[in-house]
Amino acid sequence: MIEVEGLEKSFKTVQALRGVSFAASDGEITGLIGPNGAGKTTTLRILYTVLRPDRGSARIDGFDSRREPREVQRRIGVLADSRGLYPRLTAREHVRYFGRLHGLAGASLEARIDELVRMLDMNDIADRRTKGFSKGQTMKVALARALVHNPHNVLLDEPTNGLDVGAARAVRDLIRRIRDEGRCVLFSSHIMSEVEELCDKLVVVGHGVVLANGTVAELRARTGKHDLEEAFLRATETGPETGAP
Amino acid sequence: MRSVLRRIWVVFAKESIDNLRDRRSVSMAMIYPFVGPVLMGALIAFVGDTITELPNSSFTLPIQGAERAPALVAYLEENNVAVVVAPEDPRDAVRIGRIDTALVIPDDYAENFGAERQATVNLVVDGSRLSAVVAMSRALYALSEYSARVSAGRLTARGLDLSIAHPVEIKQINVALGRNLTGFFLNMVPPFLIFTIFIGGVYLTIDTTSGERERGSLEPLLANPVARWELMLGKALAAFAFTMMAVIAQLIAFKLVFEVITGGDLGLDVDIGFGLFVVMFLISLPLMAFAVAVQLIIATLTHSFKETQTYLGLLPLVPSLPGLVLVFVSIAAHPWMMAIPTFGQTLLIGQLVRGEPLGALSVAIACVTTGLAAGALLLLAAKLYERDALLFGE
**Residue A103 confidence (pLDDT):** 95
**Residue A240 confidence (pLDDT):** 42
B181 or A17, greater pLDDT = A17
Question: What does the alpha-carbon distance between residue B329 and residue B334 come to, in Å, rounded to a whole number?
Answer: 15
The alpha carbon of residue A94 is apart from the nearest alpha carbon of chain B, in Å, by 9
**Residue B142 confidence (pLDDT):** 85
**Residue B219 confidence (pLDDT):** 95
Mean pLDDT lowest among A126-130, B286-290, B303-307: B303-307
Q: Provide the b/e sequence for B237-251 (b: ≥16 CB within 10 Å).
A: bbbbbbbbbbbbbbb
Query: Which residue from A50, A76, A85 is facing B217, i.e. has the nearest CB?
Result: A85
Domain ranges of chain B: 2-30+180-392, 54-164
Compute the count of residue pairs across chains A and B with CB atoms less than 8 Å apart. 74
Interchain CB distance below 8 Å, B225 and A73? yes
> Could you tell me which chain A residue has the CA closest to the CA of B21?
A88
Q: What are residue A64's phi and psi, to 5 degrees?
A: -80, 130
Query: Which residue from A87, A88, A102 is facing B224, i.e. has the nearest CB?
Result: A102
Interchain CB distance below 8 Å, A50 and B391? yes
- Global pTM reads 0.81
Say if B394 is an interface residue toward chain A (CB within 8 Å).
Answer: no
A96 or B327, greater pLDDT = A96
B333 or B253, greater pLDDT = B253
Say if B226 is an interface residue toward chain A (CB within 8 Å).
Answer: yes
Beta carbons of B58 and B98 less than 8 angstroms apart: no
> Could you tell me which chain A residue has the CA closest to the CA of B17?
A89
- Mean residue pLDDT across chain B: 86
- Mean residue pLDDT across chain A: 90
Say if B327 is an interface residue toward chain A (CB within 8 Å).
Answer: no
Interchain CB distance below 8 Å, B216 and A100? no
Say if B222 is an interface residue toward chain A (CB within 8 Å).
Answer: yes
Domains of chain A: residue spans and CATH: 2-82+151-242 (3.40.50.300)
- Residue B138 pLDDT grade (very low, low, confident, very high; cuts 50, 70, 90): confident
DSSP calls for B190-232: HHHHHHHHHHTTHHHHHIIIIIHHHTT-HHHHHTSSS-HHHHH
Percent of chain B scored above 90 by pLDDT?
Answer: 40
A92 pLDDT above the threshold of 90: yes
**Residue A242 confidence (pLDDT):** 42
Beta carbons of B82 and B104 less than 8 angstroms apart: no
Q: In A, what residues contact B, Cβ < 8 A? A: 45, 48-52, 70, 73-74, 76, 78-89, 93, 97-98, 100-103, 142, 145-146
B56 pLDDT above the threshold of 60: no
CATH architecture of B54-164: 3-Layer(aba) Sandwich (3.40)
Interface test with A, best of B22, B214, B219 (most A CBs within 10 A): B219
- Residue A245 pLDDT grade (very low, low, confident, very high; cuts 50, 70, 90): very low
The alpha carbon of residue B218 is apart from the nearest alpha carbon of chain A, in Å, by 8
Interchain CB distance below 8 Å, B10 and A100? yes
| Sheet with strand A14-24: strands edge to edge | A14-24, A2-11, A55-60, A63-64
Interface test with A, best of B19, B217, B387 (most A CBs within 10 A): B217
For residues A182-187, average pLDDT: 96
Beta carbons of B34 and B40 less than 8 angstroms apart: no
* Residue B48: burial class (beta carbons within 10 Å; 0-12, 13-18, 19+): buried
Interchain CB distance below 8 Å, B223 and A84? no
Interchain CB distance below 8 Å, A142 and B220? yes
The alpha carbon of residue B232 is apart from the nearest alpha carbon of chain A, in Å, by 14
Q: Enumerate the residues of chain B whose CB falls inside 8 A of the CB of residue A74.
A: 225
> Could you tell me which chain B residue has the CA closest to the CA of A149?
B224
B133 pLDDT above the threshold of 70: yes
The alpha carbon of residue A79 is apart from the nearest alpha carbon of chain B, in Å, by 7
Interchain CB distance below 8 Å, B219 and A80? yes
DSSP calls for B66-80: GGG-HHHHHHHHHTT
ipTM above 0.90, yes or no: yes
Interchain CB distance below 8 Å, A85 and B215? yes
Interface test with B, best of A75, A82, A139, A155 (most B CBs within 10 A): A82
Question: What does the alpha-carbon distance between residue B145 and residue B137 come to, in Å, rounded to a whole number?
Answer: 12
What does DSSP say about strands B59-64 and B81-85: parallel, antiparallel, or unpaired? Answer: parallel
For residues A61-73, average pLDDT: 96
**B149-204: pLDDT as tens digits:** 888 888 888 888 777 777 777 666 655 444 455 667 788 899 999 999 999 999 99
Say if B10 is an interface residue toward chain A (CB within 8 Å).
Answer: yes
* Nearest-10 crossing angle of helices B23-30, B228-262: 50
The alpha carbon of residue B236 is apart from the nearest alpha carbon of chain A, in Å, by 17
Say if B21 is an interface residue toward chain A (CB within 8 Å).
Answer: yes
Percent of chain A scored above 70 by pLDDT?
Answer: 95
B268 pLDDT above the threshold of 60: no
For residues B216-239, average pLDDT: 96
A41 or B353, greater pLDDT = A41
For residues A164-185, average pLDDT: 92
The alpha carbon of residue B288 is apart from the nearest alpha carbon of chain A, in Å, by 26
Interchain CB distance below 8 Å, A101 and B227? no
C-alpha neighbours within 13 Å on the C-beta side of residue A190: 14
**A133-159: pLDDT as tens digits:** 999 999 999 999 999 999 999 999 999
The alpha carbon of residue B30 is apart from the nearest alpha carbon of chain A, in Å, by 19
Residue B29: its H or E element: helix B23-30
Interchain CB distance below 8 Å, A49 and B6? no
> Could you tell me which chain B residue has the CA closest to the CA of A79?
B220
Interchain CB distance below 8 Å, B219 and A50? yes
**Residue A124 confidence (pLDDT):** 95
Question: What does the alpha-carbon distance between residue A25 and residue A201 come to, in Å, rounded to a whole number?
Answer: 9
- Residue B269 pLDDT grade (very low, low, confident, very high; cuts 50, 70, 90): low
Mean pLDDT lowest among A220-229, B10-19, B53-62: B53-62
Percent of chain A scored above 90 by pLDDT?
Answer: 71
B262 pLDDT above the threshold of 50: yes
Percent of chain B scored above 70 by pLDDT?
Answer: 90
Question: What does the alpha-carbon distance between residue B185 and residue B262 come to, in Å, rounded to a whole number?
Answer: 13
**Residue B172 confidence (pLDDT):** 63
A126 pLDDT above the threshold of 90: yes
Say if B387 is an interface residue toward chain A (CB within 8 Å).
Answer: no
B286 pLDDT above the threshold of 90: yes
Distances (CA, A) of B189 to B36, B246, B255, B350: 8, 14, 11, 7
